[in-house]
Amino acid sequence: MNPTPIQSAPLDANGRQALALAGVFQAATVVDQLARTGQCDERAWNTLVRATLETNPPTFESIYGGHHNNLRQGIDTLVAVMSRQQTEPAVMRYAFSMVLLMQKLRKDDAMMRTLGERLGRVQAQAERFGDTHENVIASLGELYQETLSTFRYRIVVQGEPSLLQSRMMPERIRTALLGGVRFALLWHQQGGRRWRLIFQRGAIKRALRGLDEH
């Protein structure tokens, strides 16, 4: 018998916003790691892919696998940003760029429908091969390239040129970007707004640190 997964305590509105934003920063960190080193945290990567494929979650928590530690990398990065500690500039740029892309996506109903329809097909592919199989990652990367990357505003990823051109790396980076936009949409759905970030640093830090106290 498989053990029951450990669940986080139920989240309030501030907690849901903070955790969704942590998902954005986790995606940004993964993109930066892949571009510079070709490697990334496996748990962080798996969580991004599964969150992207989970388009109709039964609960908020199920989007990231039920426990906030699946977003640990994003939580730690976001706490550092909100505490004004030194953070990789590229991570900041990628995170806020994904929020900007999300805002453009929300205004494009046709693209939203296309994403929903095609993600349904990728879900079927994932059921056959597994969530992180390279066929699934290739499909997610292609989906990003044919939708979000067609906006005039594009995210330019900088890193080691030889790595950026290596096999499956463009698809992996695009998949992580797609996951970040998915978490940005979730953040907006939970009431997150860009202008509030300036005034809510303390509330975000308290919400994230409070996760480990339950």
Binned at pLDDT 50, 70 and 90, residue 101 comes out as very high
pLDDT one-digit tens code per residue, 119-173: 999 999 999 999 999 999 999 999 999 999 999 999 999 999 999 999 999 999 9
pLDDT for 13-69, tens place per residue?
A: 889 999 999 999 999 999 999 999 999 999 999 999 999 999 899 999 999 999 999
What's the confidence (pLDDT) of residue 9? 57
Residues 38 and 163 sit within 8 Å (Cβ to Cβ) = yes
**Local confidence band at 196 (pLDDT 50, 70, 90 cut-offs):** confident
Q: What is the pLDDT of residue 181?
A: 98
Identify whether the C-beta of residue 25 lies closer than 8 Å to the C-beta of residue 91.
yes
- Coil/strand/helix, residue 39: coil
Task: Out of 3.40.190.10, 1.10.3890.10, 3.40.830.10, 3.40.50.300, select the CATH number for domain 13-211.
Answer: 1.10.3890.10
**CA dist., res. 211 & res. 213, Å (int):** 6
Q: How does DSSP assign 84-122, residue by residue?
A: T----HHHHHHHHHHHHHHHHHHT-HHHHHHHHHHHHHH
Region 77-81 average pLDDT: 93
Closest CA to 101 of 190, 19, 191, 24: 24
C-alpha–C-alpha distance, residues 180 and 102, integer Å: 9
Q: Supply 2's token pair.
A: 């498989």
pTM value surpassing 0.85: yes
Residue pLDDT, tens place only, 84-97: 887 889 999 999 99
Confidence of residue 6 (pLDDT cuts 50, 70, 90): very low
Nearest to residue 101, comparing CAs of 32, 152, 35? 152
The C-alpha angle 58, 207, 197, rounded to 5 degrees, equals 100
What is the DSSP secondary structure assignment for residue 3, as one 8-state letter? Answer: P
Higher pLDDT, 1 or 26: 26
Look at residue 2 in the predicted model and tell me its pLDDT.
33
